Amino acid sequence: MTRIYIIAAGCLIAAGCNKNHEGRNDPGNGGDTTVVIVPQDPQSEKTIGFFMDDWTAKTFVPPSYTEKTAPAEAPENITINTADIISKVPRSIAGNNANLWMTQMVTESPLVTHLSQLQPQIIRFPGGSISDVYFWNAMPGVPPVYTPSQLVKSDGTREIAGFWFGRNQESWTLSLDNYYQVLKQTHNTGMITVNYGFARYGTASDPVAAAAHLAADWVRYDNGRTRYWEVGNENFGEWEAGYRIDRAVNKDGQSEYISGELYGRHFRVFADSMRKAAAEKGATIYIGAVLYDSEPQSWQTNTIRTWNSGVCTEAGSTADYFIVHNYFTPYNQQTNAANILSSALTETGKVMNHVKSALRSAGVEDKPIALTEWNINAVGQKQQVSFVNGMHAVMVIGESIKSKYGMTSRWDLANGWSNGDDHGLFNNGDEPDGVPKWNPRPAFYYLYYFQKFFGDRMVSTSLAETNAIKAYASTFSSGQSGIVLVNTSAAVINAGITVRDRKVGARYYWYVLTGGTDNGEFSRKVYVNGESSLGVSGGPANYANLKALSARTSDGIRVNLPARSVVYIVIDKG
């Protein structure tokens, strides 16, 4: 007879225990005693903060399944320590980015269906550097009065301003109102980046006040629909509108080149105006400031080298949260699969540590950190549209939870083919080889199953440090245990799973995602339990109804991990 002991917060509350809790066993793990720990949630980290406010308990509903025989042997063992909670999982941890060149969206039924299934929770808008030349309430070709016809580039030359407009209803672009509508249709929420560049290149007598007023009017128009707001996008960058301005037309004596200190002072003006607007509407908003993501190098601009110290000194106490971007692999290089995958392990935590260090150096307490753009920069072999980028995406999300980010949003939903150097999660309609418009890229499937098979609390795992397997474990409030296993190696591995401190049920369920044999180590296809698309890229069209594989726990919990695979597993509750 199996004896069950329950421990709450580390103290035995059932009689008869010898106080030795090692070797806690579950059905299928070879013992007749189960010690069940009822863990307490740890205090939420300040780097998550208010992003946890809308945390929701997750209920796992066992899927339809196909009976599968588990491997007879599993030399690699992973233990899920269900009582050791790393963090509750913020709903905002796997967001994505929309942009202004991906159609009106609401007119694209396949895209709306995929976004409804994926549930990224947050869709950022209007998209990258465009944010600093975007006028949310303007008709096409009619920017505000105090805008120049040309902008100064970092090298001193000029270019046509190229402004974008929120009331543009043409089919190729996305209007502001349709952005709101697609959020409503897909049951997601927004993150909005307001135009900071206008505070620099604007020609009004007080361009900062004019730009802040424009942002505040957007908050009023938004009327409480959006909680998370950013002031500007990568404003430290030479590529960003407002990095360098024409002092001859500037009316408030700003410096020719931007600095973190100047941005920080301006940020305070924006935040004051936007908060007053939110108060008028009875809305709660959080406003983020832009930081640089890594240790500056000697060859970089003085703007970058001094950015974080300037921003933190001037706006550290004003900002509600801080924003970073990271593209993980070296810019414009043909990075191989092994290095792409390892970058998720090294960079995610490094960025968090760098930001926390910058805050401490300025005497600013930790605040929520949002990674509002991320992807890989690898080019030349279609890495960005491959299943390897899907594996990388899983690892970034897992590492972001471990590192206690408040939110992340991947760049982006749709982009441009560029011979496979395309960050888009979906085909924007320009992919060759007869690929249908809005066909999901492999990364979509990896993120979809992560959302389905990862619970609402991350818990720790135990496995060999030298193991090629990367494990991200979780529990559901409904009682199940889940684990995502990433086999980063080119070899097949059989793994066994032990669940500690929780009684398991009769079954476990899993999905196996692997690449194809096309395009060397960067297949454009993904196979889910052996099924894929009929075309040259993407995955199975029936992903939402695809049966899981399943086996009984009575003989042990074991799975086969093909080379370069991700396996998503949920174990029934006892």
**pLDDT band per the 50, 70, 90 thresholds, residue 36:** low
What does the pLDDT read at residue 466?
Answer: 62
- Contact assessment for residue 250 and residue 203, using Cβ atoms and an 8 Å cutoff: yes
Give the CA count within 13 Å in the CB-facing half-sphere of 463. Answer: 25
Distance from chain centroid for Cα 9: 32
Handedness of CA 327, 330, 331, 335 (dihedral sign): negative
Alpha-helical (H) ranges within 282-386 are 302-315, 337-361
The closest alpha carbon to 228, from 20, 109, 382, 53, belongs to: 53
Instruction: Flag whether pLDDT at 139 surpasses 60.
Output: yes
- The pLDDT of residue 18: 30
Q: Is residue 361 predicted with pLDDT exceeding 50? A: yes
228 SS3 class = strand
The predicted pLDDT at position 131 comes to 98
pLDDT in tens, 188-229: 999 999 999 999 999 999 999 999 999 999 999 999 999 999
pLDDT score of 76 more than 90:
no
DSSP class per residue in 325-337: EE--S-TT----H
Residue-level pLDDT at 467: 79
Q: Mean pLDDT for the chain?
A: 93
Question: What's the pTM?
Answer: 0.94
Write down all domains in the chain, each with its CATH number in brackets.
1-38 (no CATH), 55-89+455-573 (2.60.40.1180), 121-319 (no CATH)
Is the pLDDT at 24 greater than 50? The verdict is no
Please give the span between the terminal C-alpha atoms of the chain, in angstroms, as a whole number: 15
Average pLDDT over residues 360-366: 97
Which has the closest alpha carbon to 444: 315, 533, 557, 574?
533
Residue 38 pLDDT grade (very low, low, confident, very high; cuts 50, 70, 90)? confident
Tell me the mean pLDDT in the region 136-140.
98
pLDDT at position 8 over 50: no
Cα 246 to Cα 194, 240, 390, distances in angstroms: 22, 14, 43
**Bridge partner residues of 95 (DSSP):** 409
Whether the pLDDT of residue 1 is over 70: the answer is: no
Contact 391, 529 (CB under 8 A): no
- The pLDDT assigned to 35 comes to 62
Give the tens place of pLDDT for each residue, 300-352.
999 999 999 999 999 999 999 999 999 999 999 999 999 999 999 999 999 99
Identify the CA nearest to 228 among candidates 189, 290, 286, 282.
286
Nearest alpha-carbon partner for 115 in 192, 188, 58, 190:
188
For position 114, what pLDDT does the model report?
98
How confident is residue 137, by pLDDT bands cut at 50, 70 and 90?
very high
pLDDT band for 465, please (50, 70, 90 cuts).
Answer: low
pLDDT at 529: 98
Of 136, 275, 268, nearest to 195 by C-alpha is 136
Question: pLDDT over 70 for what percent of the chain?
Answer: 93
Beta bridge partners, 150, equal: 160
Q: Are 567 and 491 in contact (CB under 8 A)?
A: no
